Chains A and B, each alone.
Chain A
Amino acid sequence: DAMVIQNPRYQVTQFGKPVTLSCSQTLNHNVMYWYQQKSSQAPKLLFHYYDKDFNNEADTPDNFQSRRPNTSFCFLDIRSPGLGDAAMYLCATSKRGEADTQYFGPGTRLTVL
Chain B
Amino acid sequence: KQEVTQIPAALSVPEGENLVLNCSFTDSAIYNLQWFRQDPGKGLTSLLLIQSSQREQTSGRLNASLDKSSGRSTLYIAASQPGDSATYLCAVISGGYNKLIFGAGTRLAVHP
Contact = CB atoms under 8 A, between A and B. Distances in A.
Interface of A: 6, 31, 33, 35, 40-45, 48, 50, 55, 57, 88, 90, 92, 94, 97-99, 101-107, 109
Contacts of B45: 104
Identify whether the interface residues of A are mostly helix, strand, loop, or mixed. Answer: strand
A94 B102 contact: no
Contact of A90 (B43, B99, B105): B43
Contacts of A99: 31-32, 51
Interface residues of B, number: 25
A103 B46 contact: yes
23 contacts: A31-B98, A33-B98, A41-B104, A42-B102, A43-B89, A43-B91, A45-B100, A48-B99, A50-B98, A57-B99, A88-B41, A90-B43, A92-B44, A97-B97, A97-B98, A98-B98, A99-B51, A101-B46, A102-B100, A103-B46, A104-B43, A107-B43, A109-B41
Given A42-B89, A106-B43, A101 B98 contact: no
Nearest to A105: B43
Contacts of A55: 97-98
B68 to A, nearest CB: 14
Interface in B8-36: 31-32, 34, 36
Contacts of A105: 43
Query: At the interface, is chain B mostly helix, strand, loop or mixed?
Result: strand
Contacts of A102: 34, 46, 100
B34 A107 contact: no
Contacts of A94: 98
Interface of B: 4, 31-32, 34, 36, 41-46, 49, 51, 89, 91, 93, 96-100, 102-105
A42 B90 CA distance: 10
A101 B103 contact: no
B93 A98 contact: yes
Contacts of A31: 98
A45 B91 CA distance: 12
A88 B89 CA distance: 15
Closest 9 CB pairs of A and B: A42-B102, A98-B31, A104-B44, A106-B43, A107-B43, A104-B43, A101-B49, A42-B104, A98-B93
